[in-house]
Amino acid sequence: MTFIKARHAPTGSYPSHHPHPILVAIFIPPLGVFFERGCGADLLINILLTILGYIPGIIHALYIILKY
């Protein structure tokens, strides 16, 4: 009897049908935060930062994605 070991994707990897989260954070920062943390305070902060200035929104989105 032979057992075949299943290969598991490494932790932190995303399925191939999802866009890379850093690219999403660069082009649409609130969407990147939403994918990572859902609808909550982080998303509202990111929307506000993106409205006030696109670069602060990107920095915050990258921080959230890389932290969590």
pLDDT at 3 > cutoff 70: no
Domain with 29, as residue range(s), is 21-67
Residue 42, domain member (yes or no): yes
Residue 14, domain member (yes or no): no
Residue 54, domain member (yes or no): yes
SS3 content of the chain, % helix, strand, coil (to 5): 60, 0, 40
The number of domains in the chain is 1
pLDDT value at residue 68: 83
Q: Which amino acid is at 6?
A: A
pLDDT value at residue 26: 95
Q: For the segment 11-59, what is each residue's pLDDT rounded down to a tens digit?
A: 555 454 556 889 999 999 999 999 999 999 999 999 999 999 999 999 9
Note the pTM of the prediction, 2 decimals: 0.72
